[in-house]
Amino acid sequence: MIILVLNAGSSSQKSCLYSLGKSIPDTTPEPLWEAHLDWTVAQEGGILTVKSNDLKQKIEVKERETALKVLLNTLVTGDTKVLENLNEIDVVGHRVVHGGSKYSQAIVITQEVKQAITDLIPLAPNHNPAHLEGINIIEEILPEIPQVAVFDTAFHTTIPDAAKIYPLPYEYYEKGIQRYGFHGTSHQYCANRTAQILQQPLESLKIVTCHLGNGCSLAAIKNGICVDTTMGFSPLEGLMMGTRCGSIDPQILIYMMQKYELDAGTVNKILNKESGLKGVSGISADMRTITNAIADGNTQAQLAFDIYLHRFKSSIGAMVASLNGIDVLVFTAGVGENSRIVREKTCAGLTYLGLQLDLAKNNGDPVDTNIAADDSPVKVLVIHTQEDWAIALSARSCIAD
Binding positions for substrate are 95
Tell which residue, 333, 330, 358, has the closest CA to residue 344.
358
Catalytic member of 152, 228, 358, 388: 152
Q: Quick one: CA dihedral 170, 248, 338, 50, positive or negative? A: positive
Q: Answer yes or no: are the C-beta atoms of 46 and 67 closer than 8 Å.
A: yes
Is 152 catalytic? The answer is: yes
Tell which residue, 75, 76, 33, has the closest CA to residue 51.
33
Binding residues: 7, 14, 95, 211-215, 286-288, 334-338, 387
Question: What is the spatial distance between Cα 10 and Cα 4, in angstroms, rounded to a whole number?
Answer: 20
Alpha-carbon Rg of the chain, whole angstroms? 21
Q: Please report, as a single letter, which amino acid is at residue 209.
A: T
Question: What is the spatial distance between Cα 242 and Cα 216, in angstroms, rounded to a whole number?
Answer: 8
Tell which residue, 31, 36, 30, 34, has the closest CA to residue 8.
36
Q: Which residues pair with 51 in a beta bridge?
A: 34, 56
Q: At what angle do helices 128-141 and 64-73 cross, to 10 degrees?
A: 50
Q: Which residues pair with 5 in a beta bridge?
A: 16, 93
Question: What is the spatial distance between Cα 131 and Cα 96, in angstroms, rounded to a whole number?
Answer: 6
Structural element, H or E, at residue 42: none
Binding residues for ATP: 14, 211-215, 286-288, 334-338
343-349 long-range CB contacts below 8 Å, 24 or more apart? 343/371, 343/380, 343/382, 345/309, 346/309, 346/312, 346/313, 346/316, 347/380, 349/309, 349/313
> Which residues are known to be catalytic?
152
